[in-house]
């Protein structure tokens, strides 16, 4: 007897949440908080917000971390699920694609849903850069450099951003500083409007001063001016262009989302925040890893038959301002286009590496709810060692208005 087959079905983003993002280091608000406990907090909050979901119906927990050791190790998808109180029957695993870890958690489990092997999953990511600095414990093979497989600058993300400036001389430091100021301002406006709070779960924290409660992102600097940024040092190159002001910082935080088959979401009465159209990852020269979102997006547009003009909302991870501007310049999109990062981005709120992909998705789903006139949105990010990842989503409440 031949095995039965399952036709592809729609994958939907049900809900997403994140912890407030903190500053990495001994003075950061999560200095004495475990990374796995941050993940637990997001999983529990998703279940609290969606009580119609029986935890036993969860088929998988996929959690990403770039540095998988210590409190981010031990197959964190499984351990976080147990710690969060999920039934022991719910499996889990860990995943790594550096900055696109959470994005890959989503696309990997979404593939299982589309193929009919999962009904409901939790996917997300965590990075506690205070406990685990980028590259901690890594031992790059010496042949990378000895055999000239990559340029030495490829191993330092700030250097790759300086290289991208070299490739795009029209993207000046003044432009990146102006973009960074705009990110801070947009984030501050979104926060004051109450849009950011809806995406956060408060986290109890502990420090030498006692117990506290993290309710807001720690990195933002409202009121930042271009004049302020012009005074900052360029640590990656003398008289360079990358500074702490036009790049994301070193951060701690976690994200998680519920994904489901659209039929299962209807069956269980789960909300549908957005519908996945497709995804693509693409490799590029590691020395200019920031260009990765461009070929990844080109690849996905070709697969889906869509055009960049069809995209009504963009959520682009702001690892560096130059990387976002290179994407916009490629597509002829203005630096201040209102479709792009409406609520600011990682330059303001932070970028805890493997967690950020789900932050982009969570914000896009909330923006879709405010914009029934927009049909398609895009989440994209550059990835260390020379990659880019893009996911296109469809607004379930699109009403066809123009």
| Residue whose C-alpha is closest to residue 250's, from 104, 133, 135 | 133
Please identify which residue in the block is written with the tokens 């608000």: 29
Is 349 a residue of the active site?
A: no
In 85-232, where do the E strands start and end? 92-95, 120-128, 203-207, 210-214
Angle at alpha carbon of residue 371, lines to 365 and 373, rounded to 5°: 125
Per DSSP, the three-state class of 373 is coil
- Cα separation, 233 vs 242, whole angstroms: 8
Q: Pick the catalytic residue from 128, 131, 132, 382.
A: 382
State the Cα–Cα distance between residues 44 and 61, nearest whole angstrom: 13
Residues 6+ apart with CB under 8 A from 399: 372, 373
Residue 382: active-site member: yes
Determine the Cα–Cα distance for residues 204 and 138; give it in Å rounded to an integer: 31
| 97: DSSP letter | B
Catalytic residue, chosen from 99, 131, 132, 349, is: 99
| Catalytic option among 128, 131, 132, 351 | 351
Residue reference for tokens 């066809």: 400
Q: Which residues are catalytic?
A: 99, 351, 382
């Amino acid at each position: 007897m031949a095995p039965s087959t399952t036709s592809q079905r729609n994958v939907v983003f049900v809900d997403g949440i994140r912890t407030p993002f903190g500053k990495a280091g001994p003075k950061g608000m999560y200095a004495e908080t475990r990374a796995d406990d941050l993940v637990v907090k997001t999983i529990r909050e998703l279940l609290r917000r969606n009580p119609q979901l029986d935890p036993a119906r969860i088929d998988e927990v996929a959690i990403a971390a770039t540095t998988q050791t210590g409190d981010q190790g031990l197959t964190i998808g499984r351990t976080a699920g147990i710690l969060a109180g999920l039934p022991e029957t719910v499996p889990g695993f860990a995943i790594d694609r550096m900055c696109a870890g959470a994005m890959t958690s989503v696309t990997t489990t979404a593939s299982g849903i589309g193929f009919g092997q999962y009904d409901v999953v939790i996917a997300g990511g965590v990075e506690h850069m205070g406990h685990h600095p980028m590259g901690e414990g890594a031992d790059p093979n010496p042949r990378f450099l000895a055999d000239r497989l990559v340029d030495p600058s490829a191993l330092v993300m700030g250097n790759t951003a300086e290289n991208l400036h070299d490739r795009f001389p029209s993207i000046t430091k003044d432009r990146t500083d102006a973009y960074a100021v705009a990110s801070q301002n947009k984030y501050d406006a979104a926060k004051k409007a109450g849009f950011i709070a809806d995406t956060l779960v408060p986290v109890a924290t502990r420090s030498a001063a006692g117990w506290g409660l993290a309710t807001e992102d720690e990195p933002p600097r409202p009121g930042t001016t271009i004049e302020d940024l012009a005074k900052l040092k360029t640590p990656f190159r003398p008289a360079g262009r990358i500074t702490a002001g036009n790049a994301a910082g070193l951060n701690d935080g976690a994200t998680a989302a519920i994904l489901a088959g659209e039929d299962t979401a209807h069956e269980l009465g789960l909300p549908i925040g957005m519908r996945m159209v497709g995804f693509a990852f693409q490799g590029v020269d590691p020395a200019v890893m920031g260009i990765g979102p461009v070929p990844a997006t080109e690849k996905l547009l070709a697969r889906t038959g869509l055009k960049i003009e069809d995209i009504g909302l963009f959520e682009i991870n702001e690892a560096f301002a130059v990387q976002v501007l290179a994407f916009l310049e490629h597509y002829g999109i203005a630096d201040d286009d209102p479709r792009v990062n409406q609520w600011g981005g990682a330059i303001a709120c932070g970028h805890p590496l493997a967690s950020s992909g789900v932050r982009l998705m969570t914000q896009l789903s909330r923006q879709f709810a405010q914009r029934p006139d927009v049909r398609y949105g895009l989440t994209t990010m550059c990835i260390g060692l020379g990659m880019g990842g893009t996911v296109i989503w469809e607004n379930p409440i699109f009403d066809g208005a123009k």
